[in-house]
Amino acid sequence: MERRVPVDEGVELWVEERGDPARTPLLLVMGANASGLVWPEALVDGLARQHRVVRYDHRDTGRSTWAFDEHPYAVRDLASDAVRMLDALGIDRAHAVGMSMGGILVQLLLINAPDRLRSATVLCTSALGTGLAGDSDLPGPAPELLAYWQTMGEERDVEAELDWRVEHWRLLNGHGVPFDPAEFRALEQRVIAHSGTPRGPVAHALADQSGLDRGPELAAVRVPTLVVEAPEDPINPPPHAPHLAGLIGSATLATVPGMGHALPAAVVGPLTELIAGHTAAVDAEEQRVR
């Protein structure tokens, strides 16, 4: 089921739900400048076997409102969007899964709205105050990615834009699992058709990053949290995941061998199994203590 949900004045988010609405909700929070369609269908379907799965387009991506030029916002506002969306859907508490910038947003939810979360899973991300959103001694993105990002947002025709996006995914994928250009070209063809434009989203790269230096507050988190390490991640390489898991008082650390900063078919099965196992254990414990 698809719908558009208002989250701010003049801003609506495209939302899709899948699975039995009577099951515990699970919210998928995608990364920067990425439509919710980037979540692989096999992962969404796998999680929908035990959850009411909600995925959505951030503002300025996909079918959600694009208005950054007229109404700029901060990255932290995207976490508020997620809470307002849960409100609009009548969801009191959800499992939250965040990838990349989505992992940053889930960390903000762990601090600002822990009562809205049953559990959290973060992957391919860095701790608040580190990585792209901070300053630390941890390693930064690969130089070839930083150079490639300089061409983000340039005007291209559809085929050239598809070529740019596929090459971007190749760089993000890393070298741990095979990269299939046809798989990611088909993904981006679906994303462009869904968005209705080949224009590449860039708003989140321009958004205000203030208010994200809150890593020390993660020590107080008590929501059951799974940190998934992507050992071949060229944006947040090891030891970002162990560092984040060490900051969160309730965290468990797990690894998907070979995973980079992309979700090719080769990693979807192991990742789905990790997330589903984590959320099932939390749901079972909640049932036990009732």
58, 204, 261, 278: the active-site residue = 261
Helix, strand, coil percent content, the chain, rounded in steps of 5: 45, 15, 40
Residue 156 identity (one-letter amino acid) = R
Q: Using one digit for the tens of pLDDT, what is the confidence trace for 10-22?
A: 999 999 999 999 9
Cβ-count burial of 159 within 10 angstroms (0-12 exposed, 13-18 middle, 19+ buried)?
A: exposed
100, 119, 126, 195: the active-site residue = 100
Check if the beta carbon of residue 12 is closer than 8 Å to that of residue 5.
yes
Q: How much is the pLDDT for 169?
A: 98
Q: How much is the pLDDT for 248?
A: 96
Check if the beta carbon of residue 282 is closer than 8 Å to that of residue 118.
yes
| Nearest-angstrom CA–CA distance, 177 and 154 | 29
Q: How much is the pLDDT for 75?
A: 97
Q: How much is the pLDDT for 134?
A: 62
The one-digit pLDDT tens for each residue of the chain (290 residues) are 999 999 999 999 999 999 999 999 999 999 999 999 999 999 999 999 999 999 999 999 999 999 999 999 999 999 999 999 999 999 999 999 999 999 999 999 999 999 999 999 999 999 999 976 566 789 999 999 999 999 998 999 999 999 999 999 999 999 999 999 999 999 999 999 999 999 999 999 999 999 999 999 999 999 999 999 999 999 999 999 999 999 998 899 999 999 999 999 999 999 999 999 999 999 999 888 87
Beta-strand ranges (E) seen in the chain are: 2-8, 11-18, 25-29, 52-56, 94-99, 117-123, 225-229, 251-255
Check if the beta carbon of residue 98 is closer than 8 Å to that of residue 227.
no
Q: How much is the pLDDT for 249?
A: 80
Beta bridge partners of residue 26, listed in sequence order: 53, 95
Q: How much is the pLDDT for 289?
A: 81
The reply to whether 135 belongs to the active site is no
Would the CA dihedral through 84, 89, 95, 100 be positive or negative? negative
The reply to whether 100 belongs to the active site is yes
Which DSSP state fits 130? S
Q: Topology of domain 2-142+202-289, per CATH? A: Rossmann fold (3.40.50)
The reply to whether 195 belongs to the active site is no
Cβ of 74: how many Cβ atoms within 10 Å?
14
233, 240, 243, 278: the active-site residue = 233
Q: How much is the pLDDT for 132?
A: 63
Check if the beta carbon of residue 137 is closer than 8 Å to that of residue 221.
no
3-class state of residue 147 by DSSP: helix
Rounded to a whole number of angstroms, the distance between the first and last alpha carbons of the chain is 31
Which DSSP state fits 25? E
